[in-house]
Amino acid sequence: MSAQTSVTTVYKVSGMTCGHCEGAVAAELSGLDGVSSARATAASGEVTVTSAAPLDEEQVRAAVDEAGYELVGRA
């Protein structure tokens, strides 16, 4: 049995100021295909996303935008 590999990417997101912000961003990113976890930290403005394969940055941008925040880029 082969081990499943995953990719962890950290993105910078502007506009997050509280736990609600973190939850909104993490929830939108968790809905993307292949994402197994998304953890947002308002204090650093970073979101750590673990997925089965590298994500398309435009999909990440759209999800962050849907949550009401702005994707700055990869951290």
How many angstroms separate the Cα of 66 from the Cα of each of 7, 24, 60? 23, 9, 10
Q: Where are the domains of the chain?
A: 7-74
Task: Give pLDDT tens digits for 3-39.
Answer: 568 999 999 999 999 999 999 999 999 999 999 999 9
Residues 6+ apart with CB under 8 A from 4: 52
CATH topology of domain 7-74: Alpha-Beta Plaits (3.30.70)
**What's the predicted TM-score (pTM) here?**
0.90
- pLDDT in the model for residue 3: 54
What backbone phi and psi angles, to 5 degrees, belong to 14? -100, 145
How far is residue 32's CA from residue 17's CA, in Å, rounded to a whole number? Answer: 23
* Cα gap 22→27, rounded to integer Å: 8
